[in-house]
Amino acid sequence: MVRQLWRVQGASLARLFERADSTALPLLGGMARPDGVIIASERFFAFAGRDGSLLEGEMPKLPRIVQHIPLLRGLARLGMSVSPILRREGVAGQRERLFLTAVFLSPLAFVFFSGTVTLIAGIVMSVGLLAWLMRGRTLYLHGAEHRAIAAAEQGQLGVTWEDEVKPSRFSLRCGTNFVALVLPISLVADRLWPFGTTLWTPIVLAVLSLGLTMELWRAVQSSTHRALRAFLYPGLALQRLTTREPTIDETRIALTAVASVVRRELA
């Protein structure tokens, strides 16, 4: 039944893909889930489910004043990137939103415990989060998400839908690359912190590390210098673990979400 729906959509999407393939499109990002794929631009997002469902919405706007404050704008963009999941009318259910909120806020609680307890709790939370992120078909849909975004950037949406070409399942803008950067930056920030250690030092360091990483990540993406691009290589290597080669049906799920965002961008 899902495949039949995709064939109907494929017929109606042909004209949209033809137009999109000849137009300069805004940058797209995304997120894979076990039940579908989220694709987002700065203005819109769409979630295409494995069951043929499609959820559309608008992304929050970054306040103009925040756009000019380096570290703050990075943190704001990071928060906006998870908006399609954490918002009440978004993709995730209530239990999942509560789980993710608890994970994001857990560092606030860790400051009240000893270093050993914090280390053990951090490892447990990290393992749990990785298990949650990689459950089901997520790794395959992660590869499909990258492929669909690459197809949009290369003007190959139509031929990718028809399975005539297969753009790369690896992406320079993947969140995996961000994670690969934030870990060493956090370690360096901890070593170079010039002030005395207080109760709130871990939280301040975490916030600064995330903001600095976002600024560096965006700078590297827009740079053409090979030396700066080298910062992305660890993340690209890590994507061999966080992605799998998707089927054409899984690629079409991601392309359906891309089509939803592109249709509204071109309206």
- In degrees, rounded to 5, the angle at the alpha carbon of residue 146 between the alpha carbons of residues 211 and 176 is 35
Q: What residues contact 199, with CB distance under 8 A and at least 6 apart?
A: 111, 112
Question: pLDDT digit string (tens) for 157-201?
Answer: 999 999 999 999 999 888 878 877 777 887 787 777 777 666 667
Question: pLDDT digit string (tens) for 51-96?
Answer: 989 999 999 888 888 877 877 888 788 778 888 888 877 787 778 7
pLDDT at 5: 44
- Other CB atoms closer than 10 Å to residue 252's CB: what's the count? 26
Question: pLDDT digit string (tens) for 119-128?
Answer: 566 566 666 6
Residue 31 near residue 175, CB atoms below 8 Å: yes
Q: Which of 34, 241, 239 is nearest to 135 (CA)?
A: 34
Beta partners for residue 201, in sequence order: none
Q: Extract the tokens encoding 238.
A: 């890590």
Q: What residues contact 32, with CB distance under 8 A and at least 6 apart?
A: 38, 138, 139, 141, 142, 144, 145
- Verdict on whether the full-model pTM lies above 0.75: yes
Task: For CA atoms 185, 145, 262, 2, give the dihedral sign.
Answer: negative
